Amino acid sequence: MLFYGNIGAWITIDGNGHLEEHGVDFDDREKTVTCYIASEEGKSFQVHWCDRSFECPTRGRIYIDGRAMGGKIISGRTVNRSVVKKGFRTAGNTRMPFVFSKLKLTDIEDAVSLSTESPGEIDLIIVRVRLRSRKLYDKSHTAPETLEFNEKDVKGTAHNTT
């Protein structure tokens, strides 16, 4: 489990124990922590985060392969000051789980460029927030399409997520 100050984050596969982080790098100037984890094609994963010593509400937003996948808030009422994001919400109580998958490659020149997307990256951005009121939002969303990448651009990248 990674910690930056009082905020911790980790990833589990199929809801079991957290994955080991490798190549951990702390950047105090940017207030970021980066690492890599081993992925297993076809396995679902979940993103967890917590606040060890809650001082104020925070909102975590998840970006997978460079695309927004929703988020959660840790507030004074959050059980154990810990939350988990299990997938992309497609309807009120329906989620499409996050799954490690093989990159879709093509030789078409105008396929998605790696400079505009981030295949294989799972980003969690946490910010302090001020809670004012509860707001209802539309819980039905269209799941993002799986992107195809030009094979010349993806040397050394094996997986993305769906």
110 Cβ contact partners less than 8 Å away, ≥ 6 residues apart = none
- List Cα–Cα distances, 145 to 65, 85, 162, in angstroms: 11, 19, 8
133: amino acid identity, one letter: S
95-114 pLDDT per residue, tens: 889 999 887 777 776 655 55
**How many alpha carbons fall within 13 Å on the CB side of residue 77?**
2
Determine the 3-state secondary structure of 80 from DSSP: helix
Number of separate domains in the chain? 1
Residue 112 domain boundaries: 2-161
106: amino acid identity, one letter: T
% of the chain surpassing 70 pLDDT: 77
58-86 pLDDT per residue, tens: 999 999 888 888 899 999 888 889 999 99
